[in-house]
Amino acid sequence: MHAEGHSRAGPLAGFVARHERALIVAWLGACAVAVVVMGVWGLALNGAEKAVDAWDERWVKELDDAQALLEAGHSATALALLERLDRDCPATFVKHRQDRERERLLALLGTALQQEGKKRRTLETFQRAVAFDPKNFANHFRLAQAARELGESDVAKAGYEAVLAIHPTHAPSAAALADMAFDAGNYAPVVDVFERYIGAWQLETVHLSLGETRVALDLVVDGLAHELEVPASVAEGWKGVVRLDTHGYSARLERIELCPPLRAGEAGRREALVLTPGEEWLALGGTFDERYELSATERGAAIVSPEVTVPQGASLVRVRLALFRSIPGEFWFEAEKAYFNKLKVPRWRELLPRIRRGGAPEAGTVFED
């Protein structure tokens, strides 16, 4: 058996021995060809990727041009460009590398069509945007706004309701639903919409700054005062202003307590420095009333103290604060009249301590990036 196996291996071993140099050269040549092929393939792919990037950049640049034309009032010219872009790169599915740009294309196209008086195509385009990304409340809102302006009340109501299902603190949608019912002389839905809007749960982050120290305060927006306690690092002898940025919410700041750090050998914490708004405090992006309550008018609304000194420093900050949901003036007027008309005056008076007219339009309506 050993001899038989040796005889089978013999010819192969002999072939390798006779052609060893040629086989080595062939192997090295094959490796070189593979390297060249892989290099060319890589260059081709990179070139293709660059070509795709160049196409995308050109396409987005044209979309920007169309938006500029539309904003400048040249809706007909913008429409022609947008229609071509829509034919070249239609919005068909989310998670595309340019899904946000395609969604923007639909929004601009719908706006251009509406400005050109093309009612049916306007609604169809905004409906395409809703179908493209039904989770984006802005798509539903654009459809609702266009439908209302074009006299399609049922479509508009459904659109606003869809917004509130996703984003229940969207003030423009709540106010629009109330306004439509109020104009129709139907007060019960106004009360219903107002109750849903005011009762929607919302957590907002505002910021308290002491020089370079900035702490985030997470607060429920319900018009009730909440006490928050957060760690902070304020050096002994620090001097400066304390600033509360409300991000567009009207607010009642009752007090700020700057608590000194604990020290070894001392029982308990030393007395806190307590700050309360008064005559020397400033309201930015809004105004103070007689109670030094901030009525916000801008997204950058803030309450700012006069210069204070913190002799013992602070390692803890306590804040007692209430935030109020934005209520446009017309929404407030219609809600008040509806509550009185439906004999719900006690309920309206119950709500009054927790609600304030006004607030920046963006507060609770837009999401931070």
Digit-coded pLDDT (tens) for 301-317: 999 999 999 999 999 99
Average pLDDT, the chain: 87
* CA distance readout (Å), 64 to 57, 69, 85, 183: 10, 9, 11, 38
89 in Cβ contact with 102 (< 8 Å): yes
pLDDT greater than 90 at residue 217: yes
Q: Answer yes or no: is pLDDT of 48 > 60.
A: no
Give pLDDT, residue 98.
Answer: 67
Question: What tokens appear for 123 in the block?
Answer: 């609604």
Counting residues of the chain whose pLDDT is more than 70, the rounded percentage is 80
Of the two residues 104 and 44, the one the predictor is more confident about is 104
Query: Is residue 251 pLDDT above 90, yes or no?
Result: yes
Q: What is the pLDDT of residue 368?
A: 45
Residue 28: per-residue pLDDT: 60
pLDDT of 33 > 90? The answer is no
Residue 270 has what pLDDT?
A: 77
Can you tell me the mean pLDDT for 43-58? Answer: 53
User: Does the pLDDT at position 366 exceed 50?
Assistant: yes
Q: Can you name the residues that pair with 287 across neighbouring β-strands?
A: 295
Phi-psi group of 247: left, alpha or beta (phi > 0 → left; psi -120 to 50 → alpha; rest → beta)? left
Distance CA 242, CA 219 (A): 18
Q: Is 192 exposed, middle or buried (0-12, 13-18, 19+ CB in 10 A)?
A: middle
Task: Give 325-360 pLDDT, tens digit per residue.
Answer: 999 999 999 999 999 999 999 999 999 999 999 999
Token pair listed for 337: 């009249």
Helix ranges (H only) for the chain are 2-18, 20-71, 75-88, 99-115, 119-132, 137-149, 153-166, 171-183, 188-199, 329-341, 345-351
Is the per-residue pLDDT at 25 higher than 90? no
Query: pLDDT at position 100, please?
Result: 84
The pLDDT value given to residue 1:
45
